[in-house]
Amino acid sequence: MKRAIVIGASSGIGCEVAKLLIAEGWAVGVAARREDSLQMLGASACQRIDVTNEDAGVQLRRLIDKLGGMDLFFYASGIGKQNRELSADIELATVQTNAIGFTRMIGEAYRYFAEKGEGHIAAITSIAGTKGLGPAPSYSATKAMQATYLQALEQQAHQRGLSIHFTDIRPGFVDTALLNGTFKYPMLMKPEKVAKEIMYAIRHHQHVRIIDWRYRLLTALWRRIPKAVWRKLKL
């Protein structure tokens, strides 16, 4: 039986991916800050983990031990808000979770798989990392950092001769609690649909998966916009 750990499984995309893994017969260990929400998933093991805590890596190892090992590490934890007024609290909290917390947990999973000799790390980044987005500075910056970090680890694993696969998941706007608020987001996707695309990407060991086709077109356009034009766009 294959074993998967899902971080950020209490709601949204992480929850939906955990459900699909369980339905496909995986032994699944789930973790999030709200442990009460995890009990309803019927997972093989669960653990309260706050990725911003310094002992989060230790807690991950405990969850792996509970599960009896890990073949897939799926990371869905993250925060993000529009911050047009550049509130310091929002910027710093986003960096704490999306940069430091991400590095802590992905790094621990990588070290585990390096010891094991093989494994698969899949993580949700975002199309927001494609360009610097004025409405959400720290969010777009940390998402770019996440994508670059996964790319760097993939190169390092190859150089070290480690059989570790990486899948960078880049969704567009998804109808989850992360986007709660008064702003109406375009091209909003359901987490159930996104989770199915994620599972496809994991099965086929895709390196990068932008979800869905509309966002693949959008990000391709973004990349072609000159910096002089981009900085003047009103988003």
Task: Identify the CATH homologous superfamily for domain 3-230.
Answer: NAD(P)-binding Rossmann-like Domain (3.40.50.720)
- The 3-state DSSP class for residue 54 equals coil
pLDDT 10s digits, 192-217: 999 999 999 999 999 999 998 999 99
How buried is 191 (Cβ within 10 angstroms: 0-12 exposed, 13-18 middle, 19+ buried)? buried
- Split at pLDDT 50, 70, 90, the class of 221 is very high
pLDDT 10s digits, 132-177: 999 999 999 999 999 999 999 999 999 999 999 999 999 988 877 6
- What residue ranges do the domains of the chain occupy? 3-230
Alpha-carbon radius of gyration of the chain: 17
Distance CA 22, CA 24 (A): 5
Instruction: Give me the pLDDT at residue 180, please.
Output: 58
Asked if 207 and 166 count as a contact pair (C-beta separation under 8 A), the reply is yes
